Amino acid sequence: MSPKVTFLAKALLTVALLFLVFRRLDWPALLQVLISVRWLYLVPCFLILWGSQLLCVFRWQAILKGFQVSLRYLHLARLYFIGMFFSLLFPTTVGGDAVKVYLLGKEEESDYSQALVSVFMERNVGLFALIAIGTAFALARPVEVAGIPLALLSVGILAAYLLVNLVLYWFPHAVRNMAGSFPLLSRLSELIRTGFQYLMSHPTILAQTLAISFLHQFFMILISWLVARSLGSEVAFVYFLMFIPLITLVTMVPLTMSGVGLREAAFYTLFTPIGLSAERAVLIGTVSFAVVLGASLPGGLLYLTQSVGVGMEAKKAVYHAAKQLPS
């Protein structure tokens, strides 16, 4: 399927999902919630988000040092915020990672493989922290989603995450044989092995990256809770610790533009059964995305000073980076 057709399909699905979600809402009630927004709750959201992203730059810098890539913190922060901006422009929430790989590869004279491994490991460790938080609190407080215990769903997701990583790490040759005509899949195992071998041989850096990852995910959940408070929601914080990790995973599915539509549907599905009005549930998702969008604008301004473009070049860089990995 051509990129243009894929883009159009995702755009249509985004619009369709938004239509299906918002048609269920009481529009007068929705407007009333918007009118009564307590804007002061949103101010710390921006500060927390920027601070959390700056923490993640330390995590990325620590991982890069294992590949003999030493860049100044402020320079890496620049690349990180540019990637954060492009995460909102590309069709998925991880599209900005491709941009970071591309820009860092340019910095390192087109050695995209090291850039790819570092960005992948940063995302992978962060994903573990996200799933672990959701699973821990889902086990602590029984809740059902569409008749399915959330704890069972969360444990299943955690088990799948661990299984995939273990298979790709311990059985790279088996993965290559199964991959067949999909060379990128077979090289993914090498990517994981390269990254984890470094982290396991540096326990201090592993502990640092895990600690930053848990803090980052906690701050992202806190932002959603503050948005909910700004909209007059009194839902307990523990529900956000259970639900936001699952919602974040849903938005990573490359079906819509930056997870729009999927995000609102997930908030509606998870929060209305615990008593939150449909209007507030959907608006928490929409306003949370608006906060991230606003906080990402500095990355756009930083990108304007770049001497190189991205676009399809970022995707090409990721492909060629995978080919550079040892087979």
Please state which of the ranges 9-23, 90-104, 171-185, 209-223 shows the lowest mean pLDDT: 171-185
Establish if 242 belongs to a structural domain.
yes
pLDDT band at 250 (very low <50, low <70, confident <90, very high): very high
Establish if 12 belongs to a structural domain.
no
Establish if 17 belongs to a structural domain.
no
Establish if 211 belongs to a structural domain.
yes
The pLDDT of residue 175 is above 50: yes
The pLDDT of residue 252 is above 90: no
Radius of gyration of the chain, Cα coordinates, nearest whole angstrom: 20
The pLDDT of residue 279 is above 90: yes
Establish if 237 belongs to a structural domain.
yes
The number of distinct structural domains making up the chain is: 1
The pLDDT of residue 58 is above 80: yes
Establish if 6 belongs to a structural domain.
no
Q: Is 148 helix (H, G, I), strand (E, B) or coil?
A: strand
What domain range includes position 123?
43-324
Residue-level pLDDT at 248:
95
Single-letter code of the amino acid located at 123: R
Establish if 207 belongs to a structural domain.
yes
Residue-level pLDDT at 324:
47
Token code pair at residue 257 = 């533009």
Backbone angles phi, psi at 57, to 5 degrees: -65, -40
Q: How far apart are CA 254 and CA 186, in angstroms?
A: 21
| Residue with more model confidence, 106 or 314 | 106
Establish if 38 belongs to a structural domain.
no
Q: Is 145 helix (H, G, I), strand (E, B) or coil?
A: strand
pTM for this model (two decimals): 0.86
